[in-house]
């Protein structure tokens, strides 16, 4: 869950600057088009609340990881404004489900200690919120904003890895609640 919050705030805070400095949009236009991420988050959260009725959490989780990777490639790899904004929209759709889905899975995995799991989730989310945008800023200063954006697929890969680990622990009986 904290990895999803990290991605969310990294995109939220750095996409206007990316659209301006890397894609080449004027500052006001970049700020306006970065709102695409918010629109996609809203659509993604609404759609996700309905998808959980029809698809397993595991299926949705893998789908959002795929959407995030696809969105990032389009956002980062093609320098055209239209492609960057389309990629930003896909990033928003994918990232939108991270917080609610991961929170639900983690609290369920907590079983009888769901209150502790919830408290740890909030602490991890707060740390991610504070650390990731600052880390991106430091990286942007050191290696440039374009390369600093590579933190996003690294976070998505880490989220996929932690999800796979949780599934393995669940199958081995270490986690009592299915993930």
pTM above 0.85, yes or no: yes
Q: So where are the chain's domains?
A: 2-172
pLDDT of residue 79: 76
Per-residue pLDDT tens listing for the chain (179 residues): 688 889 999 999 999 999 999 999 999 999 999 999 999 999 999 998 899 899 988 899 999 999 999 999 999 998 799 999 999 999 999 999 988 887 777 777 767 777 787 787 788 888 888 899 999 999 999 999 999 999 999 999 999 998 888 778 777 766 555 55
**CA dihedral angle for residue 101, residue 106, residue 112, residue 118, rounded to 10 degrees:** -90
Please give the full DSSP string across the chain, using - where no structure is assigned: -HHHHHHHHHHHHHHHHHHHHTS---HHHHHHHTHHHHHHHHHHHHHHHHHTTTS-HHHHHHHHHHHHHHHHHHHHH--SHHHHHHHHHHHHHHHHTHHHHHHHHHHHHHGGGHHHHHHHHHHHHHHHHHHHHHHHHHHHHHH-HHHHTTHHHHHHHHHHHHHHHHHHHHHHTSSSS--
Q: Which fold has domain 2-172?
A: Growth Hormone; Chain: A; (1.20.1250)
Q: What is the crossing angle of helices 81-96 and 2-21, to 10°?
A: 170
pLDDT of residue 151: 95
pLDDT of residue 110: 67
Length of the chain: 179
Q: Contact, 177 vs 170, CB < 8 A? A: yes
């Amino acid at each position: 869950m904290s990895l999803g919050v990290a991605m969310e705030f990294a995109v939220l805070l750095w996409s206007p600057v990316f659209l301006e400095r890397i894609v080449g949009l004027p500052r006001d236009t970049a700020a306006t088009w970065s709102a695409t991420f918010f629109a996609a988050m809203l659509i993604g959260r609404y759609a996700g609340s309905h998808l959980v009725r029809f698809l397993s959490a595991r299926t949705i989780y893998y789908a959002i990881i795929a959407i995030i990777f696809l969105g990032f490639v389009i956002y980062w790899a093609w320098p055209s404004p239209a492609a960057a904004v389309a990629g930003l929209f896909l990033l928003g759709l994918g990232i939108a489900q991270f917080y609610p889905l991961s929170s639900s899975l983690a609290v369920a995995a907590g079983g009888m200690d769901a209150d502790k799991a919830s408290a740890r989730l909030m602490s991890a989310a707060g740390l991610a919120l504070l650390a990731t945008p600052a880390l991106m800023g430091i990286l942007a200063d050191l290696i440039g904003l374009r390369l600093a954006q590579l933190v996003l697929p690294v976070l998505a890969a880490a989220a996929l890895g932690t999800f796979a680990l949780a599934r393995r622990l669940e199958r081995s009986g270490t986690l009592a609640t299915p993930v």
